[in-house]
Amino acid sequence: MCGIVGYLGPREATDVVVGGLQRLEYRGYDSAGIAIYDPKTGLQLRRSVGKLVGLIARLHHEPARGNVGLGHTRWATHGGVTEINAHPHRDARGQIVVIQNGIVENYLELKARLVEQGVPFVSQTDTEVIAHLVGHYYAQTQCLEAALRLALADLRGGNAVVAFCINEPDRLVAARLGNAGGVVLGLGEGESFVASDVPAILDYTRDLVFLEDREMAVITAEGVTITTLAGDPVQRKPVTIPWDPIAAARGDYKHFMEKEIHEQPRALMDALRGRVDQEAGAVHFEDLRLDDAALCKVERIYAVACGTAWHAGLIAKFMIERLARVRVEVDYASEFRYREPVLGDDALLLAFTQSGETVDTLAAMEEARNQGVPAVAIVNAIGSQAARVADGGPLYLHAGPEIGVASTKAFTSMLLVAYLFALRLAQARGTLDAAALQPHLQALIELPGKAATVIEQSIPICLELAEQYHRVGGALFLGRQANYPIALEGALKLKEISYIHAEGYPAGEMKHGPIALIDETMPVICIAPQDEIYPKMISNIEQVRARHGQVIAIGTSGDADLASKADHVITIPPTLPMLQPILAVIPLQLLAYYVALRRGCDVDQPRNLAKSVTVE
């Protein structure tokens, strides 16, 4: 939530900062702003309400030039969406500018204190408090680093902050407090970068240093110096990120979401790479830090996640319980720690997160750590906070950057990695031997090709369906067992990008409520591949038909019976039951995409949403 970028070096800072913000706009797009400094022109602040294009247009008329600067794209928390509330914020003397990602929980108290001292506030934001506090301490210390350190000691909450002072134009100072958002430092030749997420600076450098909780960095063109908030020096080697900058660009696709849907066969392949040994009949996870003995000790798993990743957790429960016979509980990360969970010493926490920065998921991991329970993160963003704090290891998706707010390729890759993890557990615990693993490995290897087939075959049908149904007032998604979370995911995809109300329901539960909604105008999307509960699903479809609902079925190719019962059928190739969700979700992603497109919605930046949710 909220994107942060800063730059120092020989380039035009505006170009680097605005370019970086474009790559981070998925984090929030309520307003955007930059502050650029040049010794001749001084501090130039440009801010604009709405998406980044507004700021870019403004910069066209009022350029800002200089070799040091910082910028911010906002997802509003405190204070409405106005230019006054847009970042960067200044201190009362106009010497210091600050951008923030996070929430200052005690800002009212701090504001009251500052107002009492006669500090004039212009915005309704919590971030302005930080600017004034830094200004206040700067007057005492005449040192930006010291002033920010003192200011941070007053704050409660989780924050990522970058500050600049016109009296120290050779540096930016960045800090991280808590889990509210990452701070990544980029090291170049005679230039340095700071950002809240890797894609922002990937065009310039892949040598990155991540700030940990309660650390600060003084950033100059020559490099970075890291200390703890207490002032102790920190030595940290840079990591090199393998992501290709081109992967973070949209290419010929109309939207990132469309590109990422199409990338799924490749992403699935990359998630499998090096992890499947067909000859030995085994699964290897180089990144897993739990050995067989530790895996055998696990008697229950807590899967925690938010949003689409939570749906991956729900499906992982089926995979792990069926294949490895280990009990799994699935929690919304935002609920987990507040219910004071009793985890036990035979437990494992399994966090699902694309960004590795979702604050609630990080808090759930922290809860596990506090109870001495190891955590494994199924995570996409390399070097992200979740990846770093997962003591059991980050199991990377290797899906490449996901930019579209509605998660697609990260979801299917999460399911694949969860399946591999279930097999790895089964292998360690002896619930599946090498011979029993073989059909699973074969099915996994065939999966990317099948995903490509699903994409190709679904597009024309989904385009037609979007034409026919884009004006409906609501939609119902039904599924059973591991395909019930797919119904939830299909409904979430549709509502988040097309703003059509949609509900996902376990098909058997439909008759306890949602059936009342069904009439001849209601599309009911039924996920009905051939599996052991297929006949029950068919009965549910009959119940929908009896109420004249419009049945759109996702079924197994060659299923003539289903074709005769549904108004429309989209097929997926046969695969193992626990892998069906990976294929079944693809037509639902495409359906949501084309419906949103037909309704003229902003697919990649749906209203009110943000890709990385770093506030509670």
Active-site residue set: 2, 611
Min CB(65)–ligand G6P separation in Å: 35
Q: Do 106 and 130 meet the contact criterion of CB atoms below 8 Å apart?
A: no
Cβ neighbours around 213 below 10 Å, total: 17
Q: Do 78 and 156 meet the contact criterion of CB atoms below 8 Å apart?
A: no
* Residue 590 three-state SS: helix
CA distance 151 to 488: 44
Residue with tokens 């003591």: 391
Binds ligand G6P by CB under 6 A, chosen from 14, 101, 125, 361: 361
Binds ligand G6P by CB under 6 A, chosen from 85, 192, 353, 589: 353
Binds ligand G6P by CB under 6 A, chosen from 309, 343, 447, 476: 309
Closest to ligand G6P by CB, 13 vs 306, is 306
Rounded-to-10 torsion of CA 427, 433, 439, 442: 50
CA distance 203 to 424: 36
For residue 285, the 8-state DSSP code is -
Select from 316-324, 347-355, 446-454, 528-536 the region that touches ligand G6P (CB under 6 A).
347-355
Select from 91-99, 276-284, 355-363, 471-479 the region that touches ligand G6P (CB under 6 A).
355-363
Enumerate residues 402-441 that contact ligand G6P by CB under 6 A: 405-407
Closest to ligand G6P by CB, 89 vs 493, is 493
Select from 65-73, 457-465, 557-565, 604-612 the region that touches ligand G6P (CB under 6 A).
604-612
Select from 183-191, 196-204, 351-359, 449-457 the region that touches ligand G6P (CB under 6 A).
351-359
CA distances, 228 to each of 79, 162, 234, 235, 241 (Å) = 31, 15, 7, 10, 24
Is residue 609 within the footprint of ligand G6P (CB under 6 A)?
Answer: yes
Min CB(380)–ligand G6P separation in Å: 8
Read off φ and ψ for residue 347, nearest 5 degrees: -100, 160
Helical (H) or strand (E) element with 141: helix 127-141
Min CB(355)–ligand G6P separation in Å: 3
Helical (H) or strand (E) element with 17: helix 13-24
CA distance 460 to 106: 53
* 519 Cβ contact list (under 8 Å, min separation 6): 547, 548, 549
Binds ligand G6P by CB under 6 A, chosen from 95, 179, 334, 355: 355
Closest to ligand G6P by CB, 437 vs 603, is 603
Is residue 358 within the footprint of ligand G6P (CB under 6 A)?
Answer: yes
Enumerate residues 541-580 that contact ligand G6P by CB under 6 A: none
Min CB(401)–ligand G6P separation in Å: 12
Rg of the chain (C-alpha set) = 25
**Residue of minimal Cβ distance to ligand G6P:** 307
Q: How many residues sit in the footprint of ligand G6P (CB under 6 A)?
A: 16
Select from 244-252, 305-313, 427-435, 580-588 the region that touches ligand G6P (CB under 6 A).
305-313
Binds ligand G6P by CB under 6 A, chosen from 14, 354, 412, 589: 354
Closest to ligand G6P by CB, 336 vs 534, is 336
Select from 137-145, 399-407, 418-426, 588-596 the region that touches ligand G6P (CB under 6 A).
399-407
Does residue 577 have a cis bond before it (omega within 30 degrees)?
Answer: no
Read off φ and ψ for residue 262, nearest 5 degrees: -70, -25
As a three-state string, the secondary structure of 295-323 is HHHCCEEEEEECHHHHHHHHHHHHHHHHH
Read off φ and ψ for residue 128, nearest 5 degrees: -60, -30
Closest to ligand G6P by CB, 36 vs 386, is 386
Residue with tokens 């060659």: 558
Binds ligand G6P by CB under 6 A, chosen from 314, 540, 611, 614: 611
Closest to ligand G6P by CB, 379 vs 428, is 379
Is residue 306 within the footprint of ligand G6P (CB under 6 A)?
Answer: yes
Select from 59-67, 191-199, 400-408, 456-464 the region that touches ligand G6P (CB under 6 A).
400-408
Is residue 613 within the footprint of ligand G6P (CB under 6 A)?
Answer: yes
Min CB(249)–ligand G6P separation in Å: 20
Q: Do 229 and 175 meet the contact criterion of CB atoms below 8 Å apart?
A: yes
Is residue 308 within the footprint of ligand G6P (CB under 6 A)?
Answer: yes
Closest to ligand G6P by CB, 405 vs 597, is 405
Helical (H) or strand (E) element with 436: helix 434-469
Is residue 307 within the footprint of ligand G6P (CB under 6 A)?
Answer: yes
Closest to ligand G6P by CB, 361 vs 458, is 361
CA distance 586 to 449: 13
CA distances, 556 to each of 524, 562, 570, 579, 590 (Å) = 18, 9, 8, 13, 18
Closest to ligand G6P by CB, 412 vs 530, is 412
Closest to ligand G6P by CB, 495 vs 611, is 611
Q: Is 73 exposed, middle or buried (CB count within 10 Å of its CB: 0-12, 13-18, 19+)?
A: buried
Is residue 605 within the footprint of ligand G6P (CB under 6 A)?
Answer: no
List of residues contacting ligand G6P (CB under 6 A): 306-309, 353-355, 358, 361, 405-407, 609, 611-613
